Amino acid sequence: MPPKSDAAITEAIHAITESLNAQLQELRSSQLEFKTSLENKIDSTLNDLHYQISQLNLSNSQKSPSTTDTYKGVLSAKPTPNLPTPSTSVFQPKTPKYFLTHFDGSNVHAWIFQVEQYFSFYSIAPDQRIPIAGFFMTGEALTWIQWMHRNGLLTDWDSFTRELEVRFGPSIFLNPQTALFKLKQTSTVTHYQREFELLSNRVAGFTDEHLLNLFISGLRHDIQSEVIIQNPQRLSQALALAKLYEAKLADNRTTYRAPALTSSPSSLPPRHSTFSSTAPPPKALPPSAGGFPIRRLTASEMQARRSKGLCFNCDDQFNPGHRCKTTPFLVLQCDEEAMESAPPLSNIPTDLYPPSVELSALPLPPPPSHSPEFDSNEFQVSLHALYGHSSQSCMKLVCFIKGHLFTVLIDSGSTHNLLQSRVARHLGLLIEPAPPLSVKVGNGDVLHCSGMISTLPFDLQGVNFTLDLYLLDVHGADVILGCSGWPNSAQS
């Protein structure tokens, strides 16, 4: 192919240049159209915003005319004609107002926590807290703060809260840890939870596991066993399980109804006894509708069934080892006064009663006069030690076991050393099986020992002891030291 001449090359370059110029002009035209369209959209959007802002300003000016002066900023864009001047201020929602509960002298610890949260939220200075707190007191609390103010006893906030706790709180000599250890469920789970939370809010240093164990140990025994089986890991789980089992037990008690028994008059002819008794005849049970009737056979019916070989309680043939298909309900009626005045069975001739006589017509033997003898391994604890009462024969001290403070009662009326079971569980002590011992209380009741702790060291008034203690659920002191079982030596 022959090379092109310079004229042909110049003409080709000129054609390409014209084509590029045409494309560039077309691109400029499209950019100008896009710019015009974008400006129109922006103007339309700004007009809409101006109208909305003006409507907001108009509504705010109708509610509070003084607020219109605060909105003086104007947008830089051109506003549309016949529209109010828009505002550029940003609307901030107002902080909601919180009101403090009035204090009347009850639940002082909860009110102190609430008022301190209130002052911290509003950043109130400490020197202004006492005057403000006076506005939220009524009744006895208002009388008390008025007396403190007139006598110049209100110095700072910390001393004010301490004096408030002394005046309206529990006794300063009441140890909340000890009260928490001894807390037991006496009513519903909800009531027990309320008391547990009140005490746990006043103690510090307890882990979640300790609080969980204390809560479970104070539950009622029937609910406690069910909760322990589920092995809850948090206090909230244990509380939910306790409420669930409480509702279950209440539902079982309401749905169960014992069958009512009805009595029918006996068809036996009246019999005359050879001995007289001044006691009135036994009263028959009142009839109740819908129950099981009491079946009584006469002498002729019993003779007829005996001749046919039938059972007295059912219609099946009687043979050795026979059992009725339907178990009958047997009722034995007797009068207590007649039983006491009746002579012994050995003095009653047996030929006076025919073979068909009913068991209810026979006098019962008198109750045994002797009481069962107790085992020699039993030991005793006085009522003062059982309930923690003070007496001349008791002395109350304090001791430390594994760094925890407990109360000790030295009682000369008790024979052995005792430890409450909940204290052993709380401290994680090794519980060993104990012989079947029982404690005979002064009023005759018998409590059984659940285990023992061997060679437990503890500090009693600065003296170290090592004792063997038996676990017993008493309601007095944490540790009871009897007159026996003391160590031969102690280290000061």
- 404 and 448 inside one domain: yes
Q: How confident is the model at residue 467 (pLDDT cuts 50, 70, 90)?
A: confident
pLDDT digits (tens, 9 = 90+) for 324-378: 776 555 556 665 555 555 555 455 454 544 454 454 555 555 544 433 343 445 5
Q: Looking at 217, 248, 279, which one is the last position of a domain?
A: 248
State yes or no: pLDDT of 225 exceeds 70: yes
Are residue 463 and residue 398 in the same domain, yes or no?
Answer: yes
Task: Kindly report the pTM of this predicted structure.
Answer: 0.31
At 240 the pLDDT is 92
Is 292 contained in some domain?
Answer: no
Domain count, the chain: 4
Q: Are 400 and 447 members of one domain?
A: yes
Q: With contact defined as beta carbons under 8 Å apart, do 471 and 450 qualify?
A: yes
Where does the pLDDT of residue 1 fall: very low under 50, low under 70, confident under 90, or very high at 90 and above?
Answer: low
Residue 392 covered by a domain: yes
Structural domain span for residue 472: 379-481
- 264-284 pLDDT, tens digit each: 444 444 444 444 444 455 454
pLDDT in tens, 441-456: 655 667 778 888 888 8
396 shares its domain with 468 = yes
Predicted pLDDT at 261: 47
Asked whether residue 181 falls in the same domain as residue 217, the answer is yes
Cα-based torsion angle of the residue sequence 478, 482, 484, 489 in order, rounded to the nearest 10 degrees: 60
Q: Nearest to residue 362, comparing CAs of 383, 389, 333, 382?
A: 333
Domain-located, residue 61: yes
Q: What is the mean pLDDT of residues 148-166?
A: 88
Pick from 214-223, 465-474, 480-489: least confident = 480-489
User: What pLDDT, on the 0 to 100 scale, is given for residue 313?
Assistant: 80
Do 83 and 122 reside in the same domain of the chain? no
| Residue 373: per-residue pLDDT | 43
Residues 383, 445, single domain; the answer is yes
SS3 call for 407 = strand
Task: Name residues whose C-beta falls within 8 Å of residue 164's C-beta, 6 or more positions apart in sequence.
Answer: 108, 112
Tell me: do 397 and 477 sit in the same domain.
yes
| Helices H / strands E in the chain, number of each | 14, 11
Per-residue pLDDT, 219 = 92
What angle separates helix 208-217 from helix 235-255, to the nearest 10 degrees? 20
6 in any annotated domain: no
Residues 6+ away with beta carbon under 8 Å from 405: 175, 177, 178, 398, 399
Q: Among 194, 224, 248, which residue terminates a domain?
A: 248
What percent of the chain clears pLDDT 90, i.e. is strictly above it?
A: 5
User: Is 450 within the bounds of a domain?
Assistant: yes
Note whether residue 439 is domain-resident.
yes
Average pLDDT, the chain: 74
| 466 and 390 inside one domain | yes
User: How much of the chain, in percent, has pLDDT values that exceed 70?
Assistant: 66
What's the CATH code of the domain at 464? 2.40.70.10
Residue 226 lies in a domain: yes
Assess whether 62 and 131 both reside in one domain.
Answer: no
Rounded distance between C-alpha atoms, residue 399 and residue 462, angstroms: 8
Q: Which two tokens stand for residue 186?
A: 């006496």
Q: Any idea what the Cα angle at residue 348 is, between residues 346 and 352, rounded to 5°?
A: 140
192 and 229 part of one domain: yes
Question: Quick check: is 128 in a domain?
Answer: yes
Instruction: Mark whether 413 and 464 lie in a shared domain.
Output: yes
